A and B are shown apart, each in its own frame.
Chain A
């Protein structure tokens, strides 16, 4: 739509200033090595410091760990009151990296298509996103370039690209994005596209971990494996703790639970994160479990990300290569290693 130029200081101050008007989430250091998307105050020191993926991805702000679907109340006259709990409060998520932006883009598809999900869509519609380009791999775990998410831009209202000059290219992609800039007085940038190409060219040639297969071929490769010792190999140490699901920007499975208030006549129905790696995920009443073994659950997780959902939605892998699952798994099970082995195995 339109491009502007800013200094890093200008951009950082502008993001703080947005926090005076709106709820703004920004990746903020917690302890030595961890970042979290945290609601910032207008006086906070916003800095695009050396980054590593936040513990949970920003998309989880749109699908919270526990979310109320509706409240109910039985009235004394016998009437029942039901009220849906849709959250349409406005918020800004700033500093969203390309992989996480792709995660949000994919989540948009999952919740829009088929039976539309009002809770997600209401939050999403009222969430402005400010993306931020990566110039060097943020950790040695990432493989964003290998799954086509490093250059993902769709879904951001504004997208910031740090340039070699030290300046920031500010791309406004939506009216809402332009609106967020109204307090600034940034000069327009005429040669935005060329500068973007320059910034991409200045990146390291091998960006993060790569696969010896191109991205279009991944789903076909993964499809070839069903009964394979590789699933066992990559779950031997697995605790079935589900952490890999909970930290993933494209995991959205949920459980539904009821809560009854102490008055016993009112309460709510909520949905909470669930994970396909947890042992009871596919168990039905009567005790039959359709995926009783961890290896079968791992196969499902990998196939869902690389085969099932890519086929269903047609937007490539549903793993954005952020490396969170591998980094946060206690026993170092990394989806990159699994897919890498599947690719290698297919060659012999």
Chain B
């Protein structure tokens, strides 16, 4: 009595089965974070700010940001922090080993919102990892943007990510890179000390042509947003990249819900005007 026209097995394969990606490069970034360059069977075709579900079969699956800019080849860059069951196993893998990948998922950033504007990036800790996927295309064509400012902060000098990139971006014409640590903890450090919000009040932000993209721990948003509002930036000029628990990436498992929105599909990048009134978004 089957009515079947749809090939559900094929649909299941397309929705939930991971593609096999080969780890072609691993770099130790900090004590907890490693950089991974992966090679996929096909290009993923992602937008900045999107993520993928990364898995080790038999262990589990987790959302991980795509850290490289958009690209046509089948390479992908990620940074993974060792915090739990799956990420510990991933940290035990070697070059040549494989990971499961499905995606890309999420809204991501739309470069059209940034062309012709003064762009400010605010990255706290691991927040630099997803933001880098937008910073790369912006820094690659500085003439298509106004002044570009990157404020990047982390706990101490040993935790700073992408040092080479930060150095290189600071040499891009029209770009300013502000590097901060909460405390030097007696390590050598030639940049600023303080929280990511500290330099913001002094930044000369043009309220008419500035666009901000930010990503960091939940505590960061409130204070940064207060500062930006004091500078007369409107909620349509600010984009935030949020984190939630995610188990499916396709709007079904319910874990990532914030009020009526699903972070995995409606986000994780949101224009502040879309979520400013939501009680569960920025907390």
List chain A positions with a Cβ less than 8 A from chain B. Answer: 22, 69-70, 72, 74, 80, 82, 84-86, 88, 90, 110-111, 114-119, 121-122, 125-126, 128, 176, 179, 226, 252-260, 264, 267, 269, 271, 274, 276, 281-286, 288, 290-291, 300, 303-304, 307-309, 311-312
Question: In the complex, what residues of A have CB within 8 A of residue B11's CB?
Answer: 116, 118, 121
Question: In the complex, what residues of B have CB within 8 A of residue A309's CB?
Answer: 260
Q: Is the pair B253, A254 in contact by a Cβ cutoff of 8 Å? A: yes
- Chain B stretch 263-280: residues in CB contact (< 8 A) with chain A: 265, 279-280
Expressed in whole angstroms, the minimum distance between the Cβ of A130 and any Cβ of chain B is 13
Q: Is the pair B84, A285 in contact by a Cβ cutoff of 8 Å? A: yes
Q: Is the pair A260, B1 in contact by a Cβ cutoff of 8 Å? A: no
List chain B positions with a Cβ less than 8 A from chain A. Answer: 1-4, 6, 8-9, 11-13, 15-18, 20, 55, 57-62, 81, 83-84, 87, 98, 217-218, 243-245, 247-248, 250-255, 257-260, 265, 279-280, 283
Query: When A and B form their complex, which 7 residue pairs have the shortest distance between CB atoms, in order from nearest?
Result: A253-B254, A260-B58, A84-B12, A122-B8, A118-B11, A115-B250, A308-B260
Given contacts A69-B16, A255-B247, 18 further A-B contacts (CB under 8 A): A114-B251, A115-B15, A115-B250, A118-B11, A119-B12, A121-B8, A125-B3, A125-B4, A126-B2, A176-B1, A254-B253, A258-B59, A271-B253, A276-B254, A285-B87, A286-B217, A290-B283, A304-B257
Q: Is the pair A286, B83 in contact by a Cβ cutoff of 8 Å? A: yes
Question: In the complex, what residues of A have CB within 8 A of residue B98's CB?
Answer: 80
Closest to B256 in A: A282
CA distance A254 to B280 in the complex (A): 20
- Take A118-B11, A122-B8, A125-B4 as given contacts and tell me if A290 and B258 are in contact as well, using a CB distance cutoff of 8 Å: yes
Expressed in whole angstroms, the minimum distance between the Cβ of A45 and any Cβ of chain B is 25
CA distance A121 to B8 in the complex (A): 8
Expressed in whole angstroms, the minimum distance between the Cβ of B114 and any Cβ of chain A is 28
Q: Is the pair A281, B1 in contact by a Cβ cutoff of 8 Å? A: no
Expressed in whole angstroms, the minimum distance between the Cβ of B249 and any Cβ of chain A is 9
From B1, B12, B255, A70 is in contact (CB under 8 Å) with B12
Question: In the complex, what residues of B have CB within 8 A of residue A114's CB?
Answer: 250-252, 265
What are 17 A-B contacts with C-beta separation under 8 Å?
Answer: A69-B12, A69-B16, A80-B57, A84-B9, A84-B13, A115-B265, A121-B8, A122-B12, A125-B4, A253-B255, A256-B248, A269-B57, A271-B247, A271-B253, A284-B244, A285-B87, A288-B217
CA distance A285 to B54 in the complex (A): 15
Closest to B262 in A: A114
Q: Is the pair A22, B1 in contact by a Cβ cutoff of 8 Å? A: yes
